[in-house]
Amino acid sequence: MSDHFSNKVVVITGGTDGIGKALVQLFLSKGAKVATCGRNHDKLYALQSSFPSFPLHTIVADVSNENDCRHFIHSTLKAFGGIDILINNAGISMRALLKDVEVDVLRKVMDINFFGAVYCTKFALQSIIERKGTIVGISSIAGYRGLPGRSGYSASKFALQGWLEAIRTELMDDGVNVMWVSPGFTASNIRNAALTEDGSAQGETPLDENKLMTPEACALHIAKAIQNNNRSLVLTFKGKRTVFMNKFFPALADKLVKNFFFKNGKLIK
Ligand SMILES: NC(=O)c1ccc[n+]([C@@H]2O[C@H](COP(=O)([O-])OP(=O)(O)OC[C@H]3O[C@@H](n4cnc5c(N)ncnc54)[C@H](OP(=O)(O)O)[C@@H]3O)[C@@H](O)[C@H]2O)c1
């Protein structure tokens, strides 16, 4: 795999934690030039400091802000001369029932997970076309199957996948591959950072993170799929089973998903 990515310019949004951080580490180890962003300066500084002699460009940018995305992509083009692969990874989740949630929470999740990908892709597109590169969206199983208590998250991932499918078709004659990846449960900070009904972070995870797929394993699957020019990728056994059940037995999937996400009538967060 190392030859394939050597000297390629790989842009990964949200590279300071979880899957994004593992992708940054993996692509640097494969000889790629990597650019990443996040909202937290200290985390970016720590990441940059841990790769002192590597071609790593980091910049503070909130992907829900169009100007931040413009600056992030333009500074990457200036630093590395072009973009081969864009991985729209930055994302945030939510945990609240529709009856309780403030609408602004849904809007914020959509602004980050969907519009963040739109902005970065739009600004990077010309260079990616010139290099016949790859555009990736990190979606979720929630991009195939709406999940209770995560309605805004599910909506953002459905939007992301539909949009990627559309531009995939637009870009077919340009030699650009557009792909979406749907990880299953993967150990990361996403559940801690998930927004509750009033927009504050949940601050805890209900899952045993040690039992989930590691972000490093997830990153390896993603890199392989990019190298193989795949159309889409669904990860973990549970993830594949959910997508399958929902496609062929949607009413049964409703019941199974309800049983999984509610205990004694209470939402599992
Ligand atoms: N982990 C899972 O179980 C799982 C499953 C399915 C899909 N996914 C998807 O995988 C992607 C990565 O998630 P993860 O699990 O690795 O989450 P994570 O550990 O919480 O990492 C998220 C990363 O995105 C950055 N980020 C969040 N909001 C941002 C914003 N507005 N602008 C720029 N950067 C932002 C975070 O940094 P800052 O907070 O400092 O900005 C962090 O670096 C997401 O799209 C998520 O939906 C994850």
* The pLDDT value given to residue 269: 84
pLDDT of residue 245: 98
Strand, coil or helix: what is 170?
helix
> Mean pLDDT for the chain?
97
CA gap 218, 186 in Å, rounded:
7
- Rounded to the nearest angstrom, the distance between the alpha carbon of 91 and the centre of ligand 1 is 4
Question: Average pLDDT in the 161-167 region?
Answer: 98
Which atom of ligand 1 lies at the shortest distance from residue 16's CA? 43
Q: Quick check: 1 pLDDT over 70?
A: no
In the predicted model, is pLDDT for residue 180 greater than 80? yes
C-alpha distance across the termini of the chain, in Å: 38
pLDDT of 51 over the 90 cut? yes
Alpha-carbon separation of residue 214 from 47, 89, 217 (angstroms):
19, 16, 5
pLDDT-based confidence at residue 3 (cuts at 50, 70, 90) = confident
Average the pLDDT over 70-76 and give the result: 98
Please give the distance, rounded to the nearest whole angstrom, from the Cα atom of residue 173 to the centre of ligand 1: 31
Give the class (CATH, top level) of 2-239.
Answer: alpha beta
Among candidate residues 147, 131, 32, the one with its CA nearest the CA of residue 82: 131
pLDDT of amino acid 167: 98
Q: Is the CB of 89 under 6 A from ligand 1?
A: yes
Segment 97-154, tens digit of pLDDT: 999 999 999 999 999 999 999 999 999 999 999 999 999 999 999 999 999 999 999 9
Residue 176 has pLDDT above 90, yes or no: yes
Average pLDDT of span 175-197: 97
Q: What's the rounded Cα separation, in Å, for the pair 60 and 15?
A: 11
Q: Which atom of ligand 1 is nearest to the CA of 157?
A: 47
What distance in angstroms lies between residue 89's CA and the mean position of ligand 1's atoms? 6
Which is it for strands 266-267 and 262-263: parallel, antiparallel or unpaired?
A: antiparallel
Cβ within 8 Å of residue 128, ≥6 positions away: 83, 84, 85, 86, 134, 135, 176
Residues 233, 181 contacting (CB under 8 angstroms)? yes
- Please give the share of the chain, as a percent, with pLDDT higher than 70: 99
18 Cβ closer than 6 Å to some ligand 1 atom: yes
- In angstroms, the CA 100 to CA 158 distance is 22
Q: Which of 70, 71, 108, 188 to mutate to test the pocket of ligand 1 (most atoms within 8 A of CB)?
A: 188
Q: What is the pLDDT of residue 113?
A: 98
What is the token pair recorded at 84? 């081969």
The neighbour count for residue 214, using CB atoms within 10 Å, is 15
pLDDT for 2 beyond 70? no
Q: Taking residues 166-183, what's their average pLDDT? A: 98
Phi, psi angles (nearest 5°) of residue 62:
-100, 115
Nearest CA, atom 36, ligand 1: 14
The half-sphere exposure of 157 on its side-chain side, counting CA atoms within 13 A, is 25
Please indicate whether residue 144 is annotated as part of the active site: no
